[in-house]
Amino acid sequence: MLGCAGGALSGWEPLGTAGTLEYRRVDLMRQRGPGETFPGGTCTSGLQRLNSKGPFTATIWGWGRTASYAYPGGIAQRKLVTTALTVR
C-alpha cells in the first residue's frame, strides 16, 4: 500500500528468475512537478507512507544536475522484543 496512490499498487515486475521477489517503481516527481498518478491520487515529493501485510524493502533515490542520493526505507522491520518493557 502506498499512501499517495490511495491503496495497493499494481504492475509489479519479477526481480530475477527465481520468482520469489518483485519490484515496482513509482515516480514521486517528474520534471519538477507531480509524479505518477493513480486512481486513488497523485504522488508528490515529501513524506510518503508505505505498508504491507508481508515484509518489504523500499529504496528511495533521486538525482539532479550536480547531485544524486539513495537510501533504504521499509527494510522489513519487525518487533524484536515482544514482552512489555518497564521504564524506571
Tens of pLDDT, residues 25-81: 999 988 888 999 999 999 998 888 888 887 788 888 888 889 999 988 766 566 666
Domain annotation covers residue 31: yes
DSSP 8-class letter at 66: S
Q: What's the pTM value of the predicted model, to 2 decimals?
A: 0.69
Q: Tell me which residue of 49, 59, 64 sits closest to 3, measured CA to CA.
A: 49
Domain annotation covers residue 29: yes
pLDDT number for residue 77 = 61
Query: What cell numbers appear for 15 in the block?
Result: 526481480
Domain annotation covers residue 88: no
Distance between start and end Cα atoms, the chain? 38
83 pLDDT band, cuts 50/70/90, is confident
Domain annotation covers residue 25: yes
CB of 28 closer than 8 Å to CB of 43: yes
Position 55, amino acid: P
Q: Examine the pLDDT at 4 and tell me if it is beyond 70.
A: yes
| Domain, as residue range, for 50 | 3-73
The number of folded domains in the chain is: 1
Query: What cell numbers appear for 9 in the block?
Result: 499498487
Domain annotation covers residue 18: yes
